[in-house]
Amino acid sequence: MPDLVKCMGVMKTYKRGRERIDVLAGIDLAVREGEFLALMGPSGSGKSTLLNLIAGIDHPTAGTIEVDGLALEKLTGRALANWRSANIGFIFQFYNLLPVLSALRNVELPLLLTNLSAKQRRENAQLALEIVGLSDRARHKPNQLSGGQQQRVAIARAIVADPRILVCDEPTGDLDRSSAEEILDLLTTLNREMNKTIIMVTHDPQAAARAERTLHMDKGKLAQRLAA
């Protein structure tokens, strides 16, 4: 498979008063299309920062990030937002569901940025819930669902626009072992059967073991390559 994501000399620096904080120190990384990659490392090592840069949430201080040949630093404002909505699905540790909306309406939210009709949005959201095995919970609100079910709704929301890349920041971090394994099974299925490229930040070795490749980050650098 060709490389879908390329990070070349990526650096990220923040300033806090007069203090300079170097979060990423020259990252070189290539992710193949259809790959399932795990990023591990201690808190503060730069994992989530790298994830956000790849997702186009932030820009690097130096270096280049390309997705399918497109340099993300060339996109700003509306163009970058449109690119994210078409190409990136977000899955977080805390599900970020709106408590007043049903599962179906939560899943439908990303489609409000598209030109789809209300009928098509609803059909696409229902299909996404079927993919994650929750079509029978479409009318339930988040407080009527278990943690694992809420994360499934969040995954349905992430895939409803059919993005090429899923970025997952500790997707099993708030779940018990059984629910975590169900979510990992689902991510594996999305990767293998729907060819979704998955980049997952995790502290959990059992979660990382599901990936094809695991990279370890430390102090803003890719420090060690671990066998999948």
Task: Report how many domains make up the chain.
Answer: 1
Q: How many CA atoms lie within 13 A of 44 on its CB side?
A: 3
Residue appearing with tokens 């979704």? 196
Residue appearing with tokens 């339930």? 140
Compute the distance between CA of residue 155 and CA of residue 175 in angstroms, rounded to an integer: 14
Compute the distance between CA of residue 2 and CA of residue 127 in angstroms, rounded to an integer: 29
CATH of the domain at 127: 3.40.50.300
Note down pLDDT in tens along the chain; length 228 residues.
Answer: 789 999 999 999 988 888 888 899 899 999 999 999 999 988 888 899 999 999 999 899 999 999 999 999 888 888 998 899 889 999 988 888 999 999 999 999 999 878 889 999 999 999 999 999 999 999 999 999 999 999 999 999 999 999 999 999 999 888 889 989 999 999 999 999 999 999 999 999 999 999 999 999 998 898 755 444
Number of other CB atoms surrounding residue 46 within 10 Å: 24
Domain limits for position 193: 3-226
pTM value is 0.90
